Amino acid sequence: MLTKFVICFWNYLYMNILRPMYKRILRKWTGQPEILRITYAEAPGAARTRKIEKSFKWSFTPLLKHLYTALEVDVTEVVPQVMELKQILPEVHPHFADTLSISVSQICGYKKLLAKVEALRKERYDSDNDDHETKLLNLWDLMMPGTELQQRIWKQWTEIGFQGKDPRTDFRGMGILGLDQLLYLAKVYPNQAKHLLSQSQHPQYGFSYAIVGINMTDMCYNLLKLKRLRGHFYNLRNDAPELSDFHEVYCYVFVDFVTFWFDEKPKDIMEFERLKDKYQKKMMRKLKNRSTLLVANFKKRDS
């Protein structure tokens, strides 16, 4: 209880007294507001955008606070407003507007991406939904070309790693997001998907391909929700990340996890939860490095 009180007191002291005082001193000394100092001091990418994001978060200015929480803003409107508010002259700092526009797009875009992913996760698989059914059958065709599925609910689904005759039940935790990501991997990286399926049938280290894939969706979703993927996306592009960028992270993680799985030489599939937790901790450590990029280096489908 005492430790919690000390932490709360320190946070209050820092936020309301020490930090504002420090900012005023630096502003008077350098003649520049904090947000301008960051754009000059930090390299493009995660290093710069995360500091700007932190500045927005701790700001007492409503406009900057809004930029920390907003899902979408018009940068052509808000950036000039910020410059006027902070008295940043474009003729003196000609690159500031473009630099801030990139960071604002990245910060708001991350939250917008999380909202899209959350919506897909909450969308339950519905056998009466033609779009859902088409996606599922497309997954079968991509993973098992030349092998006809005897009927929609059938034991053949276990051949690509579902638990029973009807894959619908396996999507309960991750919803349509789980299916979309299995389908993305199979469409964009068919050779890699088939290689993973082949690895899943290893006599000693085998695993259920689809079930592990859905577990990787869960892991990527948690990393996104915990904001651990911010550095990756801020380094990846100079604007808002797209849903396909998140699917690319999934492909990287799935392949990397399977490599990790074989390196660990598990006794049996019962070690899955332990090794999944171990891998997730490894990934979190990796993502602490602000230069980290989770980019798949395997070949895409031929055009």
**Ordered mean pLDDT values, 10 residues apiece, the chain (303 residues):** 56 51 53 88 95 93 94 95 95 96 97 98 97 98 96 96 96 97 97 97 97 98 98 97 98 98 97 98 95 85 59
Nearest to 139 by CA among 121, 122, 162, 116: 162
Find tokens 């339950």 and name the residue.
124
b/e map 78-97, b = 16+ CB within 10 Å: bbeebbeebebeeeebeebb
Q: Given this model, what pLDDT does residue 14 score? A: 47
Domains of the chain, by residue range, sit at: 32-120, 126-287
Look up residue 17 and give its two tokens. Answer: 């007294």
* pTM across the whole model: 0.91
The 10s digit of each residue's pLDDT in 37-62 is: 999 999 999 999 999 999 999 898 99
Nearest to 135 by CA among 187, 99, 205: 187
Nearest to 140 by CA among 129, 125, 150: 150
Q: Given this model, what pLDDT does residue 2 score? A: 54
Q: Given this model, what pLDDT does residue 232 score? A: 98
